[in-house]
């Protein structure tokens, strides 16, 4: 019996850590952090919005990396394709949350739910591209053709990440630039906001890791089901009707 790729105690710890740190982030964000002079209470959304946006990038980055490893003949393994699919799905959930929490933040601060600002448009495009990637994974084809096709699509879609990330630098946008810049000492947050942001990053990061591992396991099971499902269904039918296996498929 081979060992599972990630031991069960690791995923359990990740899950428990995700719940604990996320709860701490919520308490900190809602009750410990104070309002800011610029944005009032809305700056509390800093605890959720930047982390989900970052982990959407991480998810798509893992998909791209796994796709590259799949495309290189020397490193090609079915597992890389399954990891790419799992990570893309979790990334899409986080990217969707980025759009929704950003919109919720934008309404009171900018006065609009949505605007065709460069950052927002690039983020929406990223979401649409990876939704398309997930749809492509479901298009019927042989395993190899589908995996190769999806790997190429992921590498095209991921090109939007730098555009999205640097949109606030390259263009005049309504969306603010990064809140923290370690190279610019004047660009910083107060301690409470820093701690809240850190807790949000840890809690949602652990949740992201847990989800990718669980989704990867499901992806492996789905792949197995795709291969063995028909055999199992035939076996079940045989058992139901007590038909000898050599009679299945024979003309009546």
Partner 1 sequence: MNYVYAGYSVTFVVLALYALRVVLRGRALRRALPPADDR
> Where do contacts with partner 1 occur on this chain (CB under 8 A)?
1-2, 4, 22, 26, 29-30, 41-42, 44-45, 47-49, 52, 93, 96-97, 100-101, 104-105, 107-108, 204, 207, 210-211, 214-215, 217-218, 220-222, 224-225, 228-229, 232
> Which residue, chain included where needed, has tokens 């969707």?
96
Q: Is 66 exposed, middle or buried (0-12, 13-18, 19+ CB in 10 A)?
A: buried
CB of 164 to partner 1, least distance (A): 19
Task: Report the alpha-carbon distance of residue 101 to residue 161 in Å, rounded.
Answer: 19
Which residue, 105 or 133, has its beta carbon nearer to partner 1?
105
3 or 74: CB nearest partner 1:
3
The Cβ-side half-sphere exposure at 89, using a 13 Å CA radius, reads 18
Least distance to partner 1 from the beta carbon of 105, Å?
7
Query: Is 66 or 196 the residue whose CB approaches partner 1 more closely?
Result: 196
How far is residue 224's CA from residue 175's CA, in Å, rounded to a whole number?
44
Residue 15 vs 152, nearer CB to partner 1: 15
Contact 133, 158 (CB under 8 A): no
User: How far is Cα 115 from Cα 123, in angstroms, rounded to an integer?
Assistant: 12
Nearer to partner 1, 103 or 148 (CB): 103
Shortest approach of partner 1 to residue 211 CB, angstroms? 6
Query: Of 25, 80, 51, which is closest to residue 209 (Cα–Cα)?
Result: 51
Q: How far is the CB of 67 from partner 1 (least distance, A)?
A: 21
What Cα–Cα distance (Å) separates residue 55 from each residue in 59, 69, 180?
Answer: 6, 21, 17
**Smallest distance from the beta carbon of 100 to partner 1, in angstroms?**
5
């Amino acid at each position: 019996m081979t060992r599972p790729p990630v031991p069960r105690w690791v995923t359990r710890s990740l899950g428990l850590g995700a719940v604990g740190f996320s709860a701490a982030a919520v308490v900190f964000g809602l009750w410990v952090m104070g309002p800011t002079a610029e944005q009032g209470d809305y700056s509390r959304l800093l605890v959720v919005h930047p982390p989900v946006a970052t982990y959407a990038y991480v998810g798509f980055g893992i998909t791209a990396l796994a796709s590259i490893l799949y495309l290189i003949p020397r490193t090609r393994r079915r597992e890389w394709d399954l990891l790419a699919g799992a990570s893309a799905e979790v990334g899409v959930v986080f990217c969707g949350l980025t759009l929704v929490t950003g919109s919720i933040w934008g309404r009171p601060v900018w006065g609009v739910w949505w605007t065709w600002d460069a950052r927002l448009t690039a983020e929406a495009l990223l979401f649409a591209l990876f939704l398309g990637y997930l749809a492509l994974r479901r298009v019927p084809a042989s395993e190899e053709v589908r995996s190769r096709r999806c790997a190429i699509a992921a590498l095209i879609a991921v090109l939007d990440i730098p555009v999205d990330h640097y949109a606030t630098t390259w263009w005049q946008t309504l969306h603010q630039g990064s809140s923290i810049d370690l190279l610019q000492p004047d660009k910083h947050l107060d301690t409470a906001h820093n701690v809240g942001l850190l807790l949000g990053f840890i809690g949602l990061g652990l949740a992201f890791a847990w989800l990718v591992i669980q989704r990867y396991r499901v992806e492996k099971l789905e792949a197995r089901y795709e291969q063995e499902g028909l055999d199992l269904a035939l076996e079940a039918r045989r058992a139901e009707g007590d038909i000898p296996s050599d009679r299945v498929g024979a003309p009546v």
